[in-house]
């Protein structure tokens, strides 16, 4: 008997995509992962877990089809020759093992690739600089008719190879401002005067040709998906729904077997919760596409609510629920809905830490799902953990993301757990930070874990329990894990500034902890950001909204510079400017005085005086490792108290991201009782020598 709530059964209907049929409406759209061609075993294991979790379609990342468009150092898929087929076959096999369809996203990046590896000059519709994040001084040459003929052949070759590898769905990709078919369509990149330039019909010609070519080549056995950027959200300068988006959908409405609706660029498609808090933020476009085609339409929008998904279908906005991030945070989301375990869904918090992995060419990681990227190299599974041979009781001190995750996973392994928390709620930093503007969804890190911890009979939680070393010695637990977190420094030290800022005793100094504790801020505020992530800009906006005059100072040349990795930086800086926060970049604070701070420009050494009443230091954090160090220094007493293992995890071990804390807690539970790394437990993929 099916457990599925009848309200959600529509999500489990099969969907025909050309000659193939998806078993349900859950569609993992293509997403990058920093593994791809460089780490094919890791990749296959990760995609396999998605299929196991119930995603009816599991797609690859973008896959380069020819060496003349090479994305190095970014690691994407590769299908340059027949030699690349076996590693794709491995991914397909892992997906098919669970009855899902495997989709491949063929990509020719043209003028969005600098070809740093192959050293072939890139090509595109026109003779123009490459449009690529690293800003290499490289230009693309304009493609002539031979180049276009060759390109069409390369797509055919790649489609055939994809078919041999076993893929069920082959994508033509014209999204994210990343690929040649989209560049041809774009008014700002296409200055051609031949039949591929000028009118929308001409600029869209290549798209139609490629769709037809791929269909002719493999359409008998493979569904043909078209991922298309219907709007770039940059007004008339970019592709707009009114000018090109609608026209292309109308022109080729029935040509592909499925429309994957995209909004370019990547920062618009993968908006963080800070800037797009609601699910389904692309519905405006998908519902228009739905009106123009009879073919299934898939779209994304950080969908994690089953009711929200059903309403997308019922309202006729979508046919399949597209997801990258929700499938990363919870590869088992579909199965949990199917099996009526909705409260067990690990909801994506919309932080884009997953995206940062791809941007830095390292394997994907996720704040909510610490097993993401670890499926092969550590053998971690998002829903399974080995039972402990000796399930001894464990005391976990501190209930932030590290302590909660350790407690939950130790409980999953069969250990009775006592969780002691100094405060009155679970969640540590996520509980506090989620009260800041734009970060409300961060509470999901707590909520997912709290759901289990509060109901487990073998988990005891004690609030208002700020433990000392002596308390711990008295309790007599054999195993103690300290997860007491960190606090922001009050000295101004951070990054290259290793000295305590002079004169801090003369001015009111606050830290993010103070603001989150409700300490009153007076008058004009200077926010000093050496952290580069979200905290300083978030607090600057909060204080500005409360009516303070706010100046933002950082030695970086952009505001919240690391948020470029999470695709947020431009929005952060624009938002600061719009909200009237004055920016003082490339500057360090050299001294504080009663009425303000002295700045020095790091390039010109020019000095500037900024009047202020409160200085908010967002520079770096100090681990709160006091009780651990205290106990560690008392080995005889530890022994006498019967404490066999004492471990330090999370921010108390080394302050980092929330993702790092969750990971640290998870790793501690997996490796327990030795919570730190054993090198033998970590595999990595080596290049083949023969
Ligand atoms: P992490 O990111 O490593 O999980 P957090 O700062 O989010 O760290 O959480 C640390 C938690 O530990 C906070 O909820 C804090 O109240 C709690 N804590 C800190 N010191 C103690 C202590 N001595 N006893 C019990 N709980 C503590
Ligand atoms: Fe969602 Fe953040 Fe995980 Fe990405 S890293 S899937 S945005 S929770």
- Indicate the length of the chain as a whole number: 690
Average pLDDT over residues 32-50: 97
**Ligand 2 interacting residues, C-beta cut-off 6 A:** 325, 328-329, 348-354, 366-368
User: What's the average model confidence in pLDDT over 660-666?
Assistant: 97
Q: How far apart are CA 357 and CA 368, in angstroms?
A: 15
Pick the closest to residue 407 from 360, 454, 367 (CA basis). Answer: 454
Closest ligand 1 atom to the C-alpha of 404?
Answer: 4
State the residue for tokens 């800037």. Answer: 275
Exposure class string for 605-635: b at 16+ Cβ within 10 A, else e: eeeeebebbbbbbbbbbebbbebbeebeeee
pLDDT for the residue numbered 688:
80
Mean pLDDT within 655-661: 98
Evaluate if residue 313 carries a pLDDT over 90.
yes
Which of 481, 462, 484, 468 lies closest to 396, judged by CA? 481
Find the mean pLDDT for residues 345-362.
96
Identify which ligand lies nearest to the alpha carbon of 419. 1
Span from the CA of 661 to the centroid of ligand 2 (angstroms):
14
Q: Which residues contact 73 (CB under 8 A, 6 or more apart)?
A: 116, 361
Distance of CA 261 to the CA centre of its chain: 20
**HSE, side-chain direction, 13 A CA sphere, residue 464:** 0
Which pLDDT belongs to residue 557?
98
| Strand-strand pairing, 645-648 and 582-584 | unpaired
pLDDT, residue 682, reads 81
Peptide bond before residue 73 is cis, with ω within 30 degrees of 0? yes
Please say if the pLDDT value at position 680 is more than 80.
no
Looking at ligand 1, which atom is closest to the CA of residue 486? 6
The confidence score (pLDDT) of residue 675 equals 81
Give the max Cα distance, the chain. 86
622's tokens = 């100090």
pLDDT at 1: 55
The residues annotated as belonging to the active site are 32, 173, 176, 269
> Distance from the CA of 366 to the center of ligand 2, in angstroms?
5
**Proportion of the chain above pLDDT 90, given as a percent:** 94
Give the per-residue pLDDT at 412.
98
Atom 9, ligand 1: residue with shortest CA distance: 400
CB 325 within 8 A of CB 350: yes
Mutation to probe ligand 1, out of 368, 467, 484, 669 (largest number of atoms < 8 A from CB) = 484
Mean pLDDT across 641-649? 97
Q: What is the mean pLDDT of residues 135-164?
A: 97
Res. 310 pLDDT band, cuts 50 70 90: very high
User: In the predicted model, is pLDDT for residue 207 greater than 60?
Assistant: yes
What average pLDDT does this structure show over 282-302? 96
Cα 529 to Cα 526: distance, rounded to the nearest angstrom: 10
Determine phi and psi for 634, rounding to 5 degrees: -125, 60
Q: What is the pLDDT of residue 626?
A: 98
Of the pLDDT bands very low, low, confident and very high (cuts 50, 70, 90), residue 679 is low
Position 277 pLDDT exceeds 90? no
Work out the burial of residue 393: count CB atoms within 10 Å of its CB; fewer than 13 is exposed, 13-18 middle, 19 or more buried.
middle
Arch. (CATH architecture) of 6-359: Alpha-Beta Barrel (3.20)
For the stretch 25-40, pLDDT in tens is 999 999 999 999 999 9
Which residue has 């996720």 as its token pair? 366
* Confidence label for 269 from pLDDT (cuts 50, 70 and 90): confident
Whether pTM > 0.75 for this model: the answer is yes
The predicted model gives 181-187 an average pLDDT of: 98
Per-residue b or e along 204-221, where b marks 16 or more CB atoms closer than 10 Å to that residue's CB: bbbbebbbbbbbebbbee
Ligand 1 pocket, residues with Cβ under 6 angstroms: 397-403, 420-423, 428-429, 465-467, 483-486, 624, 627, 650-652, 661
The confidence band for 220, taking pLDDT boundaries of 50, 70 and 90, is very high
Ligand 2 pocket test target in 279, 323, 328, 369 with most atoms within 8 Å of CB:
328
Token pair 């009879």 in the structure block, residue: 294
Predicted local confidence at residue 132, as pLDDT: 81
| Phi then psi dihedrals of residue 54, to 5 deg | 110, 5
Calculate Rg over the CA atoms of the chain. Answer: 27
- H or E segment at 475? helix 469-475
3-state helix, strand, coil split of the chain in percent (to 5) is: 35, 20, 45
Domain boundaries 494-622, corresponding CATH code = 3.50.50.60
| Closest residue by Cα to residue 318 from 342, 361, 288 | 288
Q: Number of C-alpha atoms within 13 angstroms, CB side, residue 666?
A: 22
Return the minimum-mean-pLDDT range out of 276-280, 378-382, 387-391.
276-280
Checking if the pLDDT of 138 tops 60, the result is yes
Q: What is the pLDDT of residues 502-548, one digit of tens each?
A: 999 999 999 999 999 999 999 999 999 999 999 999 999 999 999 99
Q: If 0-12 CB within 10 Å is exposed, 13-18 middle and 19+ buried, where does residue 688 land?
A: exposed
Residue 592 pairs in a beta bridge with 597
Fold matches, 394-485+624-676 and 494-622: no
Angle of helix 534-545 relative to helix 569-578, nearest 10 degrees, comes to 20
Q: Are 200 and 247 in contact (CB under 8 A)?
A: yes
Ligand 2 midpoint to CA 420 (Å): 28
User: CA–CA separation, 386 vs 39, rounded Å?
Assistant: 25
| Nearest-CA residue for atom 2 of ligand 2 | 351
User: Which residues lie closer than 8 Å to 411 by C-beta, 6 or more apart?
Assistant: 417, 452, 453, 456, 458, 459
Fold of 394-485+624-676: Rossmann fold (3.40.50)
- Strand 486-488 relative to strand 621-623, pairing: antiparallel
- Tokens linked to 156: 């055919």
The protein residue with its alpha carbon nearest to ligand 2, atom 3, reads: 366
Residue (of 411, 613, 600) closest to 525 by Cα position: 613
Q: Which residue has the higher pLDDT, 408 or 674?
A: 408
Query: d(Cα 633, Cα 305) in Å, to the nearest integer?
Result: 49
CB 348 within 8 A of CB 654: no
Q: What does the pLDDT look like over 615-637, one tens digit per residue?
A: 999 999 999 999 999 999 999 99
For residue 24, give the 3-state DSSP assignment. Answer: coil
The stretch 301-317 carries a mean pLDDT of 96
Name the DSSP class of 83. Answer: G
Provide the token pair at 264: 């370019």
The answer to whether the CB of 625 falls within 8 A of the CB of 655 is no
Domain boundaries, the chain: 6-359, 394-485+624-676, 494-622
Q: Categorize the per-residue pLDDT at 317 as very low, low, confident or very high, splitting at 50, 70 and 90.
A: very high
**509/567 Cα distance (integer angstroms):** 31
Average of per-residue pLDDT across 473-491: 97
Between the CA of 55 and the centroid of ligand 2 the distance, in Å, is 17
Q: Encode pLDDT of 227-267 as tens digits.
A: 999 999 999 999 999 999 999 999 999 999 999 999 988 88
Whether residue 189 is predicted with pLDDT greater than 80 in this model: the reply is: yes
Cα–Cα–Cα angle for 621, 487, 423, rounded to 5 degrees: 155
Q: Are 553 and 581 in contact (CB under 8 A)?
A: no
Report the DSSP beta bridge partners of residue 106. 63, 172
Nearest-ligand number for the alpha carbon of 302: 2
Q: Return d(Cα 583, Cα 480) in angstroms, integer.
A: 46
Give the pair of three-digit tokens for residue 309.
């998904």
Give the Å distance between the CA of 348 and the centre of ligand 2: 5
Question: How confident is the prediction for the chain on average, in pLDDT?
Answer: 96
Residue 232: alpha-carbon gap to chain centroid? 21
């Amino acid at each position: 008997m099916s457990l599925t709530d009848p309200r959600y059964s529509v999500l489990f209907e099969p969907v025909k995509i050309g000659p193939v049929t998806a078993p349900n409406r859950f569609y993992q759209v293509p997403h990058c992962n920093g593994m791809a061609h460089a780490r094919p075993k890791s990749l296959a294991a990760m995609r396999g877990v998605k299929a196991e979790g119930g995603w009816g379609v599991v797609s690859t990342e973008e896959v380069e089809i020819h060496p003349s468009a090479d994305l190095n150092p970014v690691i994407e898929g590769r299908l340059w020759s027949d030699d690349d087929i076996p590693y794709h076959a491995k991914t397909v096999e892992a997906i098919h093992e669970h009855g899902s369809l495997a989709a491949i996203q063929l990509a020719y990046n043209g003028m969005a690739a600098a070809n740093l590896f192959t050293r072939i000059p890139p090509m595109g519709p026109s003779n123009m600089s490459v449009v690529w994040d690293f800003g290499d001084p490289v230009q693309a040459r304009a493609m002539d008719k031979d180049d276009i003929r060759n390109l069409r052949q390369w797509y055919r070759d790649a489609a055939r190879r994809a078919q041999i590898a076993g893929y069920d769905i082959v994508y033509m990709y014209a999204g994210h401002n990343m690929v040649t078919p989209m560049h041809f369509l774009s008014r700002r990149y296409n200055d051609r005067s031949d039949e591929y330039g000028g009118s929308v019909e001409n600029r869209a010609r290549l798209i139609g040709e490629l769709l037809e070519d791929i269909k002719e080549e493999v359409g008998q056995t493979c569904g043909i998906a078209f991922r298309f950027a219907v709007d770039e959200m940059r007004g008339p300068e970019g592709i707009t729904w009114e000018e090109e988006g609608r026209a292309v959908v109308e022109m080729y409405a029935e040509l592909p077997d499925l429309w994957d609706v995209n909004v370019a660029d990547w920062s618009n498609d993968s908006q963080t919760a800070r800037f797009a808090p609601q699910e389904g933020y692309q519905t405006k476009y998908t519902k228009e596409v739905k009106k123009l085609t009879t073919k299934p339409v898939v779209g994304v929008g950080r969908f994690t609510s089953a009711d929200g998904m059903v309403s997308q279908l019922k309202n006729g906005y979508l046919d399949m629920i597209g997801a990258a991030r929700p499938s990363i945070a919870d590869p088992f989301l579909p199965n949990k809905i199917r099996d009526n375990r909705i409260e067990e869904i690990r909801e994506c918090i919309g932080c884009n830490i997953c995206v940062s992995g791809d941007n830095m060419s390292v394997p994907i990681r996720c704040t909510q799902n610490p097993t993401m990227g670890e499926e092969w190299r550590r053998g971690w599974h998002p829903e399974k953990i080995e039972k402990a041979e000796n399930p001894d009781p464990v005391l976990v001190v501190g209930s932030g993301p590290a302590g909660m995750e350790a407690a939950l996973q130790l409980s999953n392994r069969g250990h009775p757990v006592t969780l002691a928390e100094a405060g009155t709620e679970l969640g540590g930093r996520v509980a506090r930070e989620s009260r800041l503007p734009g970060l409300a969804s961060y509470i999901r890190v707590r909520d997912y874990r709290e759901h289990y911890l509060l109901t487990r009979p073998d988990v005891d939680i004690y609030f208002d329990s700020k433990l000392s070393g002596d308390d711990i010695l008295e309790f007599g637990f054999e195993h103690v894990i300290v997860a007491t977190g960190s606090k922001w420094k009050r000295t101004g030290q951070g990054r290259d500034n290793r000295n305590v800022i002079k004169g801090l005793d003369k001015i009111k100094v606050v830290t993010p902890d103070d603001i989150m504790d409700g300490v009153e801020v007076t008058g004009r505020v200077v926010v000093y950001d050496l952290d580069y992530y979200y905290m300083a800009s978030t607090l600057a906006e909060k204080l500005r909204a409360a009516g303070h005059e706010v100046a933002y100072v950082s030695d970086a040349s952009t505001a919240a510079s690391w948020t470029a990795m999470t695709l947020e930086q431009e929005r952060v800086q624009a938002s600061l400017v719009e909200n009237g926060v004055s920016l003082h970049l490339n500057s360090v604070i050299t001294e504080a005085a009663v009425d303000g701070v002295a700045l020095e420009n790091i390039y010109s050494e020019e000095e500037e005086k900024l009047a202020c009443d409160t200085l908010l230091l967002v520079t770096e954090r100090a681990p709160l490792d006091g009780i651990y160090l205290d106990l560690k220094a008392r080995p005889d007493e530890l022994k006498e108290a019967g404490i066999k293992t004492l471990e330090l995890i999370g921010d108390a071990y080394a302050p980092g991201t929330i993702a790092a804390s969750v990971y640290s807690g998870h790793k501690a539970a997996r490796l327990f009782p030795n919570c730190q790394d054993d090198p033998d437990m970590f595999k990595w993929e080596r290049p083949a020598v023969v």
